[in-house]
């Protein structure tokens, strides 16, 4: 009997990534198409169906060669009904019956979840959390998102588990877009790091390249801040140290509750690399319960841009 395959889809605002995977998660084939979010994103799903069918026939494969299609999507996902709403970077403002359309168009069973959950599954299956049944994934991008795998199951709770960006790390902190004060996202996202830099620069009275850039009105990104910290710039060091404190505190609180094998950090800001892991660990170890301190590891994500398509494949396996 021929081994069946999986299809993983990572639906993003500019690109839709696809992969054919073996049942063990090995990527056999990757490709991508632009995401056409014009006209309220009405072409997105038809384009996905067309692209899958094209690649099937190109490889001489048929729907019966596949166990299923998994997809990670932005927006608010109803995993039971297979619908998406409020995915503003796709211009999907109204309810999209994604599962119904894709199953009809491909004749392959379809499963969907939100993109952060799917990336968490990817890292847990084949990335930094491989071999662990308890993994928490944190993605530090424009915002801060996450996903929780506990005892081998993706945790949804009553619908919104994994809102790690909204863990409160400072009740007297900055206003968050969610309406609350002091969420992790306000200080640990790419924009959060820049916010800390601008705020700390005001009070900083020593020599600093970073302060100079800010005062000159030059574009300062999270990468600028981490790069300057690597160079030993004292303001940048102060900023990243505060970032480590907040993220380390949040990680310790997650680990005290869930005792995961690993907390995996991904997303654009994690490009700062081992320096970031080292800094976060320092505060994690300060605030984590003694037994948790040694049993939960802080790790960098390993799959990069492939986390989405691989996790989407895992979604199929989880639902079988």
Interface ranges with a second copy (CB under 8 A): 134, 136, 146, 148, 150-151, 153-164, 166-168, 171, 178-180, 182, 245, 249, 252-254, 256-261, 286-292, 295-296
52 versus 264: smaller Cβ distance to a second copy: 264
- Going along the chain, which residue ranges are E strands? 5-11, 15-22, 27-34, 66-73, 76-78, 83-85, 110-114, 135-140, 144-150, 153-154, 262-266, 297-300
86 versus 268: smaller Cβ distance to a second copy: 86
The first and second tokens of residue 52, run together, are: 């899958």
51 versus 295: smaller Cβ distance to a second copy: 295
Least separation, in Å, of the C-beta of 43 and a second copy? Answer: 29
Least separation, in Å, of the C-beta of 316 and a second copy? Answer: 18
Least separation, in Å, of the C-beta of 102 and a second copy? Answer: 25
228 versus 296: smaller Cβ distance to a second copy: 296
171 versus 232: smaller Cβ distance to a second copy: 171
Least separation, in Å, of the C-beta of 167 and a second copy? Answer: 5
Q: Are 261 and 255 in contact (CB under 8 A)?
A: no
Least separation, in Å, of the C-beta of 211 and a second copy? Answer: 26
Report the distance separating Cα 194 and Cα 196, nearest Å.
5
SS3 of residue 169 by DSSP? coil
66 versus 284: smaller Cβ distance to a second copy: 284
DSSP state of 305: G
Closest CA to 128 of 298, 316, 309: 298
Least separation, in Å, of the C-beta of 184 and a second copy? Answer: 9
Q: Are 204 and 214 in contact (CB under 8 A)?
A: no
Q: Are 166 and 173 in contact (CB under 8 A)?
A: no
């Amino acid at each position: 009997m021929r081994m069946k395959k999986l299809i993983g889809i990572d639906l993003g605002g500019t690109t839709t990534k696809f992969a054919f995977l073996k049942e063990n998660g090995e990527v056999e084939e990757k490709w991508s198409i632009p995401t056409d979010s014009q006209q309220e994103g009405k072409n997105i799903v038809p384009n996905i169906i067309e692209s899958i069918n094209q690649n099937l026939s190109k490889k001489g494969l048929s729907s019966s060669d596949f166990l299923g299609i998994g997809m990670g999507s932005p927006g608010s996902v109803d995993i039971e009904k297979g619908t998406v709403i409020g995915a503003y970077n796709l211009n999907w403002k109204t309810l999209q019956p994604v599962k119904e359309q894709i199953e009809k168009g491909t004749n392959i069973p379809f499963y969907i979840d939100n993109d952060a959950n799917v990336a968490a599954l990817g890292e847990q299956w084949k990335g930094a959390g491989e071999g662990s049944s308890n993994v928490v994934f944190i993605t530090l991008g424009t915002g801060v998102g996450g996903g929780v795998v506990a005892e081998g199951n993706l945790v949804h709770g009553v619908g919104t588990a994994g809102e790690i960006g909204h863990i409160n790390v400072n009740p007297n902190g900055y206003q968050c877009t969610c309406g609350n004060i002091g969420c992790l996202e306000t200080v640990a996202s790419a924009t959060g790091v820049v916010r800390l830099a601008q705020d700390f620069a005001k009070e900083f009275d020593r020599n600093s390249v970073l302060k100079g850039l800010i005062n000159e009105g030059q574009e300062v990104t999270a990468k600028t801040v981490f790069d300057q910290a690597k160079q030993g710039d004292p303001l940048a060091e102060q900023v990243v140290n505060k970032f480590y404190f907040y993220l380390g505190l949040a990680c310790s609180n997650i680990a005290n509750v869930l005792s995961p094998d690993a907390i995996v950090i991904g997303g654009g800001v994690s490009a700062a690399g081992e320096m970031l892991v080292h800094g976060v660990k320092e505060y994690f170890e300060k605030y984590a319960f003694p037994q948790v301190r040694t049993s939960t590891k802080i790790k960098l994500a390993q799959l990069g841009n492939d986390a989405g398509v691989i996790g989407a494949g895992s979604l199929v396996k989880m639902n079988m």
